[in-house]
């Protein structure tokens, strides 16, 4: 743990806090969006927001893969189990996200549906191998970080000649979502008041590199700093954003140089490009239909595409009444603005996706920030 501990040192955190307080101009606000749920989690877990001056605010973004999946896609997954009798495999958090009619994959499992939690695509492949008389579908979700293993699984299934394995592909893309947030009327109308700069994702950027953020940093004139997930990473990145804003710059800078390069991971990117291509449009919870913001399986791998194999149709579903997840994901509300927070909605009984995953803003508030006023005020 020595290497990690170095990024949690108390004395360095105090020094960075002093630097930020000294350099932040008291005559202006610094509203900084952490796109990634991992940063939200780190900020609350380590109390980073408590070390900031009052004019440096963290705004939570949509970077939690479980949170942004619309209810309709979970309904589709439930249909696969109930109407097509498949073995549905997915990562743990996904099983608890509420679908229509207060259902969830966990409840479907309790009612006898064959839903299995897996830790990797390799687990799903093994289940397919061991159950050759059943159709096995991997419910693939996530940003650019989890896409390469899905692409590898499809290629492996092809190489092994597995005829009973397919993927329900819900992989989404980060730069398109950030662009959509900056173009949304709520953000545009408030101009630079709402979001002044971005913390770029850590793990996603290890795959795609820092280069894809250069377009919108220039187009929208917002600085981006790729930040690691440890508390000192977040604080150092905050200082870098404050300095850029003070100097009127809007560059893409990389604090997470120990992992992220400008080009990213060429091998992973080319594996994904072999198997997947851009979708024309995809629905995000909170953002609506976002053009070219997700991936679909290419025609030459169609036999492994669950949407084709089972003829999955898109469904129109309303969000849960009273749940503020859509606005929280756009960064215009905070969890405590939701009337259901901590009353009807808790991690044991989540009403919306943001309360399910530990990367969700509501879950982070609930776990670390619900007892103190400072936390309640920390997000504009």
d(CA 317, CA 353): 15
Sequence length of the chain is 380
Residue 367 C-beta: closest distance to ligand SF4, Å = 13
In terms of CB distance, is 271 or 363 closer to ligand SF4?
363
Residue 355 C-beta: closest distance to ligand SF4, Å = 4
The pair phi, psi for residue 101, each rounded to 5°, is 60, 30
d(CA 124, CA 118): 7
Residue corresponding to tokens 């896609």: 73
Residue nearest to ligand SF4 (CB): 352
Residue 324 C-beta: closest distance to ligand SF4, Å = 4
In terms of CB distance, is 224 or 355 closer to ligand SF4?
355
In terms of CB distance, is 140 or 328 closer to ligand SF4?
328
Residue 321 C-beta: closest distance to ligand SF4, Å = 9
In terms of CB distance, is 222 or 333 closer to ligand SF4?
333
- Pick from 16, 9, 15, 10: nearest CA to 241: 16
Residue 356 C-beta: closest distance to ligand SF4, Å = 8
Residue 365 C-beta: closest distance to ligand SF4, Å = 8
Residue 350 C-beta: closest distance to ligand SF4, Å = 6
In terms of CB distance, is 271 or 340 closer to ligand SF4?
340
In terms of CB distance, is 67 or 306 closer to ligand SF4?
67
Binding site for ligand SF4 (CB under 6 A): 323-325, 328, 335, 338, 340-341, 345, 351-352, 354-355, 362
In terms of CB distance, is 324 or 375 closer to ligand SF4?
324
């Amino acid at each position: 743990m020595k290497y990690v501990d170095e990024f949690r040192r108390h004395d360095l955190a105090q020094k960075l806090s002093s630097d930020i307080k000294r350099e932040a101009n008291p005559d202006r606000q610094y509203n900084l969006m952490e796109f990634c749920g991992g940063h939200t989690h780190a900020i609350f877990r380590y109390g980073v927001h408590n070390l900031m001056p009052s004019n440096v605010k963290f705004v939570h973004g949509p970077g939690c893969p479980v949170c942004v999946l619309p209810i309709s896609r979970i309904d589709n997954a439930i249909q696969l189990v109930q109407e097509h009798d498949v073995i549905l495999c997915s990562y743990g958090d996904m099983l608890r996200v509420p679908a229509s009619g207060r259902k969830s994959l966990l409840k479907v499992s309790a009612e006898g549906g064959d839903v299995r939690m897996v830790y990797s695509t390799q687990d799903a492949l093994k289940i397919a191998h061991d159950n050759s008389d059943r159709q096995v579908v991997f419910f693939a979700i996530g940003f650019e970080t989890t896409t390469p293993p899905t692409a590898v699984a499809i290629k492996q299934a092809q190489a092994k000649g597995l005829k009973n394995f397919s993927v329900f592909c819900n992989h989404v893309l980060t730069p398109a979502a950030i662009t959509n947030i900056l173009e949304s009327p709520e953000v545009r109308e408030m101009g630079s008041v709402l979001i002044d700069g971005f913390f770029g994702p850590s793990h996603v950027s290890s795959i795609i590199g820092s280069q894809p953020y250069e377009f919108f940093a220039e187009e929208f004139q917002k600085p981006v700093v790729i930040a690691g997930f440890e508390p000192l990473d977040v604080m150092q990145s905050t200082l870098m954003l404050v300095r850029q804003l003070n100097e009127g710059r809007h560059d893409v800078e990389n604090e997470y140089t120990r992992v992220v390069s400008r080009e990213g991971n060429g091998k992973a990117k080319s594996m994904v490009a072999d198997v997947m291509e851009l979708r024309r449009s995809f629905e995000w919870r909170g953002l609506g239909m976002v053009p070219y913001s997700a991936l679909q399986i290419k025609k030459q791998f169609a036999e492994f595409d669950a949407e084709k194999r089972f003829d999955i149709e898109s469904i129109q579903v309303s969000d849960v009444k009273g749940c503020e997840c859509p606005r929280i994901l756009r960064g215009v509300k905070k969890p405590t603005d939701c009337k259901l927070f901590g009353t009807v909605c808790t991690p044991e009984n989540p009403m919306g996706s943001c309360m399910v995953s530990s990367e969700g803003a509501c879950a982070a508030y609930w776990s670390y920030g619900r007892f103190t006023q400072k936390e309640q005020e920390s997000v504009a």
